[in-house]
Amino acid sequence: MPLTQDSPRPRALARVAVGGAVAALATTAYAGWEARRYVLRERTLPVLPVGARPLRVLHLTDLHLTPGQRAKREWLAGLGTLAPTLDLVVDTGDNLAHRDAVPVVRGALGPLLDVPGVFVHGSNDYFEPGFRNPFRYLLPDDGKRHTDVPPLPWRELSRTFTDAGWLDLTNTRDRLQVGDLDVALAGVDDPHLGYDRLEDVAGPADRGADLRLAVTHAPYLRVLDAFARDGYDAVLAGHTHGGQVCLPGGRALTTNCDLEPARARGVHRHPADSRPGDPGSTWMHVGAGLGTSPYARVRIACRPEAVLLTLVPIGEG
């Protein structure tokens, strides 16, 4: 019998199509809502000498700020109440997403700039964001980088931070007194752009320091391997957005680098199968970040975050 307009099959197909469209709209709406559900997480790193006083370290990454993001700016400004309790702020880059965003960053961080801090930049501090096919991130990295776009005022951003007393760890090593502890520091420029110069920071971390801390924007394995091999106690990174669009339970599908998705955010060992105390190994913390590209303001099962790290003596936590 030929199908007619009143036949069951077309009506069923129409219901499926409408249901699919409604589900897609609902998912998109939810993803946009979750991208504004900012949360302060607390995690612990057991890296200090036995008997040392714990350190409170605020890890900020991937703010991706633009002038119009009022909710994010206000939430960030609220973190300023933590400033009197903090020992250190670590900013691992991608603060900018607009050419006029440096004053926005300065205003949003406010009192946090009065806390001792260190920073490195990410690719989005250097170049304006543009539309990218979001599904491209699920494919293997083809190595192409879009640097043929207008630059962003990263030098002004650097001055904002250094004028506040923060240390620029771009391809360099440094020292900082944090609380009662002498901290040896190292950092690299963004490995995602190939700007990292590991040879500039290579060599054993100072064993005379109380703590050895390394920072990078993107947690590429070559950088993690180098810092672990050189004896750094922990590496802090961002870039991954925690996977940004994840499966239920927060399981990441991608990291936008060669780090495996299982370590897209949170506290982990590196190498992944190492144990504390193993030679050539380290702790790592990857922040899921507070922002997204302005062209993909969505998150699923991966809330935007800042992270309050409590550094405690080895064997605790």
With cut-offs at 50, 70 and 90, classify the pLDDT of residue 150.
very high
Q: Are 291 and 94 in contact (CB under 8 A)?
A: yes
Which residue is it, tokens 């309050």?
A: 308
Which residue is it, tokens 């944090």?
A: 178
What is the per-residue pLDDT for 130?
80
What is 38-313's CATH number, 3.40.1350, 3.60.21, 3.40.630, 1.25.40?
3.60.21
Say if residue 19's pLDDT is above 60: no
With cut-offs at 50, 70 and 90, classify the pLDDT of residue 15.
low
What is the per-residue pLDDT for 8?
65
Say if residue 29's pLDDT is above 60: yes
Min mean pLDDT across 48-52, 277-281, 294-298, 309-313 is at 294-298
Q: What is the 3-state secondary structure (H, E, C) of 255-291?
A: CCCCCCHHHCCEEEEECCCCCCCCCCCEEEEECCCCC
Say if residue 112's pLDDT is above 90: yes
Q: What is the pLDDT of residues 65-93, one digit of tens each?
A: 999 999 999 999 999 999 999 999 999 99
What is the per-residue pLDDT for 32?
79
The larger pLDDT score, comparing residue 254 to residue 24, is at: 254
Rounded to whole angstroms, how far apart are CA atoms 20 and 32?
A: 18
Annotated domain spans of the chain: 38-313
**Residues near 265 by beta carbon (within 8 Å), at least 6 away in sequence:** 240, 242, 243, 250, 252, 286, 287, 288, 302
- Six-digit token pair at 71? 């909710």
Mean pLDDT score of the chain, rounded to an integer?
92
Q: Which pTM value belongs to this model? A: 0.91
Which residue is it, tokens 């190595």?
A: 143
Say if residue 99's pLDDT is above 60: yes
Say if residue 273's pLDDT is above 70: yes
With cut-offs at 50, 70 and 90, classify the pLDDT of residue 23.
very low
With cut-offs at 50, 70 and 90, classify the pLDDT of residue 267.
very high
Q: What is the pLDDT of residues 221-239, one digit of tens each?
A: 999 999 999 999 999 999 9
